[in-house]
Amino acid sequence: MKFTKLSLVAMLLVGSSAFAIENVKVSGDTKFFYSTQDNTYDSSYTKNERTGLFDQSTSIGEASLSVGVTADLTKGISAGATLSGITTLGLQNNVVGGTFTGNLQSNSWFNEAWLAGTTGKTTGKVGRMQLDTPLVFSETWSVLPSTFEAAVLINQDIPDTTIVAAFVGKSNNNAVLGGGYGDNGTDARNNVFQSFYKGAYTVGIQNNSYEPLEVQAWYYSANIDANATATQNISGLQSYWLQADLNMKGILAGVQYTATNYDYTNKSDNNAFAVMLGYDKKDVVTVKGSYSQIGKDSVNSKGAGANLAGSQSKLYTEVWWYYGKITQNDTSAFNVTVTAPLAGYDLGLYYTQAITKDGFNSGGADATFVEVTFEVAKSFGPLDTGLYYIYIKSDNDNQKSATDKGEAYNTVQVYLTYNF
């Protein structure tokens, strides 16, 4: 699934400059997302006799409502808050068996609540907010975006250069990205935001002194790896990300490199690189091809390049829907993306293939994953609509036994968003 590309710089400046003319602004959206698939077997190799498309047991659906307010409080000081709610609309009784957030209970909370201040070319922002950095970013594939409790400082005194520093203390990714609420109770609002690695720091720099080229470098330090098991006795992880993107007269090119040190009892590290080449003819077609390679961690079998606050990745080869495949240990992947507007519709074709060395569940063989997505999207005034067909063939999924490679299956998705 595509995710909205909104830079961290833009998100910070929206609070400090975008509303200088209009003192108070109210906006929001309501969404309804639906997904259904026809996989036959679950993770324990149990066959489900009711697995057709649109069957309740293999379908998820959910609605959300978000209302946000931003305002200038004094000169250079602004604030914003977004109240969000989620509900199944009662569809879990006979239409869907799950949700995008991972919980069938209705709930509401302030998904954003921040205060921002600007002096000269320096802006600070603190509170709940969306973030967009290479290894810590808000994922937007669910009915609500994941957000963070963070403090961010940005400076643009150096021409064509942006320097960013941030501390991230909490995240709601478990509550909105398929994990459900922290306590699974009837009122989980107090547990929606949970500790993010017991505190994480990032510093980044972005530069485009040569206008067709943008380069960026980021460093991350987290106190505890939230994905580690308790027995691994981890004391932290450190990551860095390097990237350069070129857009010259329609020619697109890019290169990415990232590495992470896992400070476990048995320390290890891993890395990933990706390259991309493409062509963009405005309002006609965009074509991109990319390749990525994840290194081999022989100690802890950890991958590299995934969002520390979810499962998506900013690597060029990321899939549309089945996140977490291209960033596995010792995995190579390639992606072909073609998008084009046609007769008022936005059309897209997304193909990804990933091969994980010795990655088959039963061991001793490589695991292959293929995902093909067809997109048809159109906006009708404030209403954004999208229809998607996804073909998935994964050796490690939809298996009838541990030694049988997975069978192909189909997914259909519908996205409706009304903006106001």
- Specify the pLDDT at position 179: 73
E strand or H helix at 414: strand 409-419
CA 293 to chain centre: 19
Name 80's bridge partners. Answer: 70, 114
Q: How far is CA 124 from CA 121, 153, 271, 406, in A?
A: 10, 4, 32, 49
pLDDT surpassing 50 at residue 314: yes
Tell whether pTM > 0.85: yes
- Mean of per-residue pLDDT scores for the chain: 90
Q: Rg of the chain's alpha carbons, rounded to an integer? A: 22
pLDDT surpassing 60 at residue 382: yes
Res. 123 pLDDT band, cuts 50 70 90: very high
Q: How far is CA 109 from CA 68, 81, 189, 199, 415, in A?
A: 12, 11, 6, 22, 22
In our burial notation (b when 16+ CB lie closer than 10 A, e otherwise), range 65-100 reads: bbebebbbeeeeebbbbbbbbbbbeebbeebbbbbb
Please give the Cα distance from 134 to 5 (Å, whole number): 11
Average pLDDT of the segment spanning 299-309: 93
Average pLDDT of the segment spanning 69-79: 93
Res. 52 pLDDT band, cuts 50 70 90: confident
pLDDT surpassing 90 at residue 2: no
pLDDT surpassing 90 at residue 343: yes
CB atoms within 10 A of CB 396: 18
Name 151's bridge partners. Answer: 126, 167
Least confident of 53-67, 94-108, 180-194, 270-284: 180-194
- Specify the pLDDT at position 180: 64
- Specify the pLDDT at position 229: 61
CA 367 to chain centre: 24
Res. 189 pLDDT band, cuts 50 70 90: low
Q: How far is CA 153 from CA 147, 310, 332, in A?
A: 17, 23, 36
The string of DSSP codes covering 212-278 is TEEEEEEEEEESS-TTS-GGG---EEEEEEEEEEEEETTEEEEEEEEEEEEESSS-EEEEEEEEEEE
Beta strand extents in 75-141 (DSSP E only): 77-87, 107-119, 122-129
Q: Which residue has the tokens 């980044």?
A: 204
- Convert the pLDDT of each residue in 86-97 to its tens digit: 999 999 888 999
The string of DSSP codes covering 387-409 is EEEEEEEETTSS-SSTTSPPPPE
Res. 228 pLDDT band, cuts 50 70 90: low
Name 368's bridge partners. Answer: 355
Give the residue with greater pLDDT, 190 vs 262.
262
Name 117's bridge partners. Answer: 77, 124
Average pLDDT of the segment spanning 296-310: 93
Res. 225 pLDDT band, cuts 50 70 90: low
pLDDT surpassing 80 at residue 11: no
Tokens of 246: 């070129």
